[in-house]
Structure 1
Amino acid sequence: MTKIATGGHPDLKMVNPAAAAIDIGSTMHMAAVNPEACETPVRAFGTFTQDLHDLADWLKPCGVTSVAMESTGVYWIPAFEVLEARGFDVTLVNARYAKNVPGRKTDVSDAGWLRQLHSYGLLRGSFRPEAEIATLSAYLRQRERLVEYAAAHIQHMQKALMEMNLQLHHVVSDITRATGMRIIRAIVAGERDPEVLAVFRDIRCHSSIEVIKAALVGNDRDEHIFALSQSLDLYDFYQAKIEGCDRKLEAAVAGLTVKAPGDVAALPKARIKRKQVNAPSFDVRAALYGVLGTDLTQIHGLGPSLALKLVAECGADLLAWKSAKHFTSWLCLARGNKISGGKLLSSRTRRSSSRAAALLRVAATTIGRSDTALGAFYPRLSFRIGKQKAVTATARKIAVLFYNAVRFGMTYRDPGAVAYEERHRSRVLANLQRRAKTLGFALAPLPNTEAVS
């Protein structure tokens, strides 16, 4: 019996013979090119900058025009940037795609197998935002880390106050607001008299001076004052770093490509006038409006900070997705479609670590308490299928609105909860009438009976 070799894949057509691939590692990158272009088609390179340039110098004579690499941690970023700057078409590939394609991955190196898949056109590139969006995203993520570090020192200040039995957090809503910070700074400066400390109360504080004075009677042990002082210094340090990050963010937003040049309508009236906690110090809403030509905060659930984070994660044009369905599928917010033998096996949404999807879910959870169309949609669905699925479905609706606003400049106007309820009632009634007609009956309203939605 003659053994048939199947490793060559004769039924597949090579669409990209000038393809190369790199297996990314922390200390070594393994690169593979077409065996017909070089005597040594697989070579190892280091991860130093000069090694990356040597890699590019080796790929050029081999006639390589396109390079595929897996998104391994953060190790791929230097190689990606160097090769892209040298003129190569670099494709960032999800490792799951390479593993799901059948082949002898155990018999050949990862780089050679990845190159073969890329040459046959079997790999699909992951979404990689433009350079200006990537810069904006880097500043935003750095700012989020600084906010987390500052939050830890807020807890340290509160712990020191509790050890001194100063119940400040019980009489003010936030110790980092005007009243709390004035009192804490006075304590660190050496003031101990509760009557003097209570005078630092801001006029907007709900607690009276007498209540604040009673809460500030405690002990002044030196070790607790020392801990409070150091925590305050560290909190102020991170606040200064956050302010510096805000200046970089403001410049990055101003540097984005303006989507709507020319005369733009005046900025609509803000839905929410209250400033969000930990929001950037510049007018994010006006800055995004100048770039996009539409006010994303008119979509309920999207505040200025959350809208900025979504733009930083998805881009300012969303041209990478053909439609809103493609966009929600990329976010793993659309229903699955696992079919075999003509039977639907599962419609569950795929698991995802997308930061944009997480942000949209946050928006969905906050919108359920609002008197809006989306606010009426969420509790109805939550009662029927559960809160988790209702959050995903509401997040998908917000994602569609976000896509249409950014891609096509749609201006969102909320129809209101009453309009949604009436539309839902009309839809249910139409379905009941259709079912009754198929069974040979006709529906008629009951006299003097209130309708139940």
Structure 2
Amino acid sequence: MDAVRQICAGLDVHQETVVACVLSGSLEHKPKSEIRTFGTTTRELLELQDWLEERECREVAMESTGVLWKPIWNVLESTCELTLANARQIQKMPGRKTDVQDAQWIAQLHRCGLVQPSMVAPQEIRELRDLTRYRRKLVQQTTSEKNRVHKILQDANIKLTTFMSDLFGVSGRALLDRLVDGEVLEEAEVRQLVKSQLKKKVKPLMDALNGKLLKHHREMIKYHLEHLKFLEDQIGRLEEKVQALIQPYEEEVKLLDTIPGMDRTAAITLLAEITPNAAKHFSSDAKLASWVGVAPGNNESAGVKKKLKPVKGTNMQKGSYAKRHGQTLEAATELATISGG
């Protein structure tokens, strides 16, 4: 293999240790190898940074080992040109295997330019991605809490959902609060609590409220409503933070929002996943689809194509969220290119 880098390093990352191998020397000759093991605390990672600087090593490659690579990346990205490698693509030949040999192998591949870099978003986009993913989890939890309330009402034979399209709107929550308090609702009071078109359904609502609501039911509904209020407050706080982080990328969000079926929330989530500079990392929509995990590779031998499963990815990457909103990866990539990504 022909070398293309005079000085580079390979890191074999673990939870408690990082084995670093620095290769240096002329491109025409066998390189000199220096190997050292560091811990993974911040102080020890700073020692790794100093060790690399002393050897004037700026080009460093490492495996994408779960989330263990992230703290190392955060420390070294200010002084090194980092390359994050897919572990499947740099597997060593079967045989003896040690941490030192793994670090040497990664360094050797990087020296010869054989490590294909993985896409790593800038710090602010990584933060935005954390927020959008957590927001999605909280939204899923709110849906679960609402479903639990629906289930309890059915158990108590309270048929509000028969006449109300949104049980958790202003009118629905007002009625639920009265039920939780154990009050006996009269027709006049129900008429005051409900809004708009529901005032025409007061008599059916009275029949729907005439169930067998036990003390246990009221307590359970109260627990769920309190948790639901907490989740909604958390989502509101997250939304404020997301809107602050997305300000520099308003133009890109507006472009993504032009895709049929896409709303602002979906546009921000998509932007956080593929980054505003998608065209810089993915030269075509096919490569983006491959990274997302919706394009299985080829496995053909003797004219026979074998079935392959797509790689595992997040729900957002898999496109389930995207399909519900009608957008396509091709359109997203094209818009990212137009925006100057």
Interval of TM-score (by shorter of Structure 1 and Structure 2)? 0.7 to 0.9
2:289 maps to amino acid: T
User: Partners in 1 of 2:16 and 2:123 — Cα distance?
Assistant: 26
Q: CA deviation at 1:245?
A: 0.5
Q: 2:281 is paired with a residue of what secondary structure?
A: coil
User: Partners in 1 of 2:198 and 2:67 — Cα distance?
Assistant: 46
Name which of 140, 147, 156 aligns with 2:132. 140
Q: 1:67 is paired with a residue of what secondary structure?
A: strand
Q: 1:255 is paired with a residue of what secondary structure?
A: helix
Q: CA deviation at 1:409?
A: 5.2
In 2 relative to 1, CA 205–94 (structure 1 residues): closer, same or farther, beyond 3 Å?
A: farther
CA deviations over 1:9-55 (Å, ceiling 9, x no partner)? xxx11222321122222222222222879998332222221111111
1:16 maps to amino acid: R
Matching residue of 2:97: 106
On the 8 A contact 2:15/2:68 being kept in 1, the answer is yes
In 2 relative to 1, CA 329–172 (structure 1 residues): closer, same or farther, beyond 3 Å?
A: same
User: Partners in 2 of 1:29 and 1:304 — Cα distance?
Assistant: 41
User: Partners in 2 of 1:204 and 1:22 — Cα distance?
Assistant: 65
Name which of 217, 236, 243 aligns with 1:224. 217
2:97 maps to amino acid: T
Matches within 5 A, 1:31-430: 31-34=20-23, 41-85=34-78, 87-99=79-91, 102=93, 106=97, 109-193=101-185, 195=187, 196-197=189-190, 199-205=192-198, 208-256=201-249, 288=250, 291-292=251-252, 294-318=254-278, 319-334=280-295, 336-338=297-299, 343=303, 345=305, 350-359=310-319, 361-364=320-323, 367=326, 398-408=328-338
User: Partners in 2 of 1:117 and 1:307 — Cα distance?
Assistant: 38
Equivalent pairs: percent with the same residue? 26
2:323 maps to amino acid: A
In 2 relative to 1, CA 109–336 (structure 1 residues): closer, same or farther, beyond 3 Å?
A: closer
In 2 relative to 1, CA 46–204 (structure 1 residues): closer, same or farther, beyond 3 Å?
A: farther
On the 8 A contact 2:7/2:24 being kept in 1, the answer is no
Q: 1:208 is paired with a residue of what secondary structure?
A: helix
Q: 1:72 is paired with a residue of what secondary structure?
A: coil
On the 8 A contact 2:253/2:267 being kept in 1, the answer is no
In 2 relative to 1, CA 308–207 (structure 1 residues): closer, same or farther, beyond 3 Å?
A: farther
Q: 2:77 is paired with a residue of what secondary structure?
A: helix
1:27 maps to amino acid: E
User: Partners in 2 of 1:194 and 1:114 — Cα distance?
Assistant: 75
- Structure 2 unaligned blocks of 5 or more: none
2:263 maps to amino acid: G
Q: CA deviation at 1:311?
A: 0.7
Which structure exhibits the higher relative contact order, with contacts defined as CA atoms closer than 8 Å and separated by 6 or more residues?
2
2:196 maps to amino acid: I
CA deviations over 1:138-180 (Å, ceiling 9, x no partner)? 1111211222232332233334333433222333233222322
User: Partners in 2 of 1:58 and 1:399 — Cα distance?
Assistant: 42
In 2 relative to 1, CA 80–332 (structure 1 residues): closer, same or farther, beyond 3 Å?
A: same
Q: What is the TM-score of this pair, normalised by structure 1? A: 0.65
On the 8 A contact 1:186/1:197 being kept in 2, the answer is no
1:405 maps to amino acid: L
Name the structure with the higher helix share.
Answer: 2
User: Partners in 2 of 1:126 and 1:249 — Cα distance?
Assistant: 25
Q: 2:48 is paired with a residue of what secondary structure?
A: helix
Q: 2:54 is paired with a residue of what secondary structure?
A: coil
CA deviations over 1:171-190 (Å, ceiling 9, x no partner)? 32332223221211222344
Name the structure with the higher strand share.
Answer: 2
In 2 relative to 1, CA 174–182 (structure 1 residues): closer, same or farther, beyond 3 Å?
A: same
Q: CA deviation at 1:102?
A: 4.2
In 2 relative to 1, CA 293–219 (structure 1 residues): closer, same or farther, beyond 3 Å?
A: closer
In 2 relative to 1, CA 401–154 (structure 1 residues): closer, same or farther, beyond 3 Å?
A: same
Q: 1:247 is paired with a residue of what secondary structure?
A: helix
CA deviations over 1:233-274 (Å, ceiling 9, x no partner)? 111111111111011011011134xxxxxxxxxxxxxxxxxx
User: Partners in 2 of 1:150 and 1:293 — Cα distance?
Assistant: 26
User: Partners in 2 of 1:400 and 1:347 — Cα distance?
Assistant: 24
- Structure with larger Rg: 1
1:22 maps to amino acid: L
In 2 relative to 1, CA 97–194 (structure 1 residues): closer, same or farther, beyond 3 Å?
A: farther
